[in-house]
């Protein structure tokens, strides 16, 4: 690609992929929308996956569940539809507070070609005015981890009301506190109205139209962006709001799109930038010169690599990403240091060989690989924490860096003699 001439050829691999499937994103999506229920139509494996990825069974009665297909459902699809209607009826009877039901497709439902889109339509009609039923697929044969959110949001796009009015639409789940902080900052800049997708209440869907400018809070929303663009919205190209630099660039891009006076931007952002950099300083001292290997997982790897290199001084050994959407990554790729080795896809055994050969100081990886690498003497940072923690914005830059500094700091602390 012409945009990134300084990067060596991409390593493209296809082999065993040690990543979660898109169902995992239910774990944070359901918290974002407390009036929504996520019903996976799948197998016991799907139920077990979400339960295991959520770490502990912290919720007494969670707002997600699995309609587990049985042998009878596989034998006759008409029955499967009846069964689904029954399960949904029981579920909504138990949980009358639910306003939106996401029917989430899985590997088995995709393979047997269970038409959940049609089922969602049928159920929506039946419960019109009470519950909206939305379908998307979080199956592992189609989606990787955070791509589940992309699929969920894409499914919401056709339901957004139309509006030509100018507005800024933040796209991608943010921690509530972080979102509030951004809203305050946009208000100080004089940008408004600002809305979010996904919204905090599933019934309060933001409008979209030619006046809508999109600002992506998360880098894994390729399909959502395309669907919103088809509704007339235009994307504001920018790096992602991770780290001080990324967050400033992100706010600045929005300010430019809304013709905000640069002086006003400086007035609002300079103190934050100054404070954010000061907070980063001690962490930079811990991370500087340390060699970092990112395995593909959350799709946040490229923005994280940019932040950890440019603001924390880490050296990038390899930056893996489940898939590379160059359009959404243009600004990020331009900020990577020359020579950064990117890899797309995965062949986990070969990638681990590269990890061992390069002896990095820190590896960012999934939960399945972390302890085995630690046992080999390689420090790790689990990537799943990155999608559950408030990490966006200038104010969070130091917290974000701390997530990476902690495993290194811990190794220095522990002594056995």
Partner 1 sequence: MELTLWTYEGPPHVGAMRIAASMEGVHYVLHAPQGDTYADLLFTMIERRGRRPPVTYTTFQARDLGGDTAELVKRSIQQAVDRFQPEALLVGESCTAELIQDQPGSLAAGMGLGVPVVSLELPAYSKKENWGAAETLYQLCRGLLKEQVPLPGRPKPDPTRWRAEGRRPRVNLLGPSLLGFRCRDDVKELRGLLGDHGIEVNVVAPLGAAPADLLRLPAADVNLCLYPEVAGPLCSWLERSFGTPVLRAVPIGIGATTEFLRDLHALLDLEAPASLEADQRSRLPWYSRSVDSTYLTGKRVFIFADATHAIAAARIASRELGFKVVGLGTYSRELAREVRAAAQELGLEALISDDYLAVEKAMGEAAPELVLGTQMERHSAKRLGLPCAVISAPLHVQDVPARYAPQMGWEGANVIFDTWVHPLMMGLEEHLIGMFKEDFEFVEGHRSHLAEGAPARSAPTPEPALATATLAPLDGGAKAAPVWSTDGEAALGKIPFFVRGKVRKNTETFARDQGLAAITEEVLYDAKAHYSR
What residues make contact with partner 1 under the rule CB under 8 A?
A: 15-24, 39, 41-45, 47-49, 51-53, 56-58, 60-62, 64-71, 73-74, 80, 83-84, 86-87, 90-91, 107-108, 110-112, 139-142, 144, 349, 366-372, 374-375
State the nearest-atom distance from the C-beta of 177 to partner 1, in Å.
26
C-beta closer to partner 1: residue 188 or 323? 323
DSSP string over 218-230: SS--HHHHHHHHH
Q: CA–CA distance from 169 to each of 1, 162, 346, 398 (Å)?
A: 29, 13, 33, 26
C-beta closer to partner 1: residue 33 or 67? 67
For residue 111, the Cα-to-chain-centroid distance in whole angstroms is 25
State the nearest-atom distance from the C-beta of 402 to partner 1, in Å.
22
C-beta closer to partner 1: residue 61 or 412? 61
Is the backbone peptide bond immediately before 149 cis, with ω within 30 degrees of 0?
A: no
By residue count, the chain amounts to 417
State the nearest-atom distance from the C-beta of 72 to partner 1, in Å.
8
C-beta closer to partner 1: residue 110 or 395? 110
Residues 6+ apart with CB under 8 A from 114: 41, 77, 80, 81, 105
State the nearest-atom distance from the C-beta of 186 to partner 1, in Å.
36
State the nearest-atom distance from the C-beta of 1 to partner 1, in Å.
22
Q: Where are the alpha helices (DSSP H) in 112-221?
A: 116-126, 147-156, 176-189
C-beta closer to partner 1: residue 42 or 246? 42
State the nearest-atom distance from the C-beta of 152 to partner 1, in Å.
16
Coil, strand or helix: which one is 292? strand
Q: What would the two tokens of residue 381 be?
A: 């940072």
Taking the C-alpha atoms of residue 225 and residue 154, their distance in angstroms, rounded to an integer, is 8
Q: What would the two tokens of residue 78 be?
A: 């008409």
C-beta closer to partner 1: residue 49 or 260? 49
CB burial readout 249-284, b (16+ within 10 A) else e = bbbbbbbebbebeeeebeebbeebbeebbebbeebb
C-beta closer to partner 1: residue 114 or 216? 114
State the nearest-atom distance from the C-beta of 73 to partner 1, in Å.
5
> Which of these, 143, 156, 136, 151, lies nearest to 41 by C-alpha position?
136
């Amino acid at each position: 690609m012409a945009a990134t001439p300084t990067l060596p050829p991409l390593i493209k691999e296809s082999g065993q992929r040690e990543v979660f499937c898109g169902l995992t994103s239910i774990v944070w999506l359901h918290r974002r929308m407390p009036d929504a229920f996520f019903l996976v139509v799948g197998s016991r494996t799907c139920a077990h996956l979400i339960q295991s990825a959520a770490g502990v069974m912290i919720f007494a009665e969670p707002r997600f569940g699995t309609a587990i297909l049985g042998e009878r459902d596989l034998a006759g699809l008409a029955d499967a539809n009846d069964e689904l209607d029954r399960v949904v009826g029981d579920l909504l009877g138990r949980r009358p507070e639910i306003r939106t039901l996401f029917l989430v497709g899985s590997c088995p439902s995709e393979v047997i070609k269970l038409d959940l889109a049609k089922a969602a339509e049928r159920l929506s009609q039946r419960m019109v005015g009470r519950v909206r039923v939305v379908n998307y697929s979080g199956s592992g044969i189609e989606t990787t981890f955070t791509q589940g959110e992309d699929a969920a949001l894409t499914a919401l796009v056709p339901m957004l009301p139309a509006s030509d009015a100018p507005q800024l639409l933040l796209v991608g789940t943010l921690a509530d506190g972080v979102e509030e902080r951004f809203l305050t900052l946009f208000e100080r800049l004089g940008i408004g109205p600002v809305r979010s997708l996904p919204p905090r209440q599933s019934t309060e869907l933001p409008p979209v139209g030619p006046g809508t400018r999109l600002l992506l809070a998360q880098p894994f929303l390729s399909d959502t962006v395309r669907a919103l663009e088809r509704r007339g919205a235009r994307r504001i190209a920018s790096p992602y709001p991770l780290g001080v630099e990324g967050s400033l660039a992100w706010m600045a891009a929005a300010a430019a799109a809304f013709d905000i006076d640069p002086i006003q931007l400086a007035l609002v952002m300079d103190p934050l930038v100054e404070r954010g950099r000061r907070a980063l300083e001690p962490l930079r001292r811990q991370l500087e010169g340390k060699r970092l290997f990112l395995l593909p997982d959350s799709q946040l790897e490229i923005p994280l690599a940019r932040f950890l290199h440019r603001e924390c001084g880490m050296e990038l050994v390899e930056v893996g990403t489940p898939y590379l959407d160059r359009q959404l990554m243009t600004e990020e790729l331009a900020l990577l240091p020359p020579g950064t080795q990117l890899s797309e896809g995965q062949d986990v055994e070969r990638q681990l060989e590269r990890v061992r050969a390069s002896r990095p100081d820190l590896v960012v990886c999934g939960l399945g690989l972390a302890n085995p690498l630690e046992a080999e003497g390689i420090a790790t940072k689990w990537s799943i924490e990155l999608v559950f923690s408030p990490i966006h914005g200038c104010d969070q830059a130091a917290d974000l860096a701390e997530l990476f500094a902690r495993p290194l700091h811990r190794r220095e602390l522990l002594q056995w003699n």
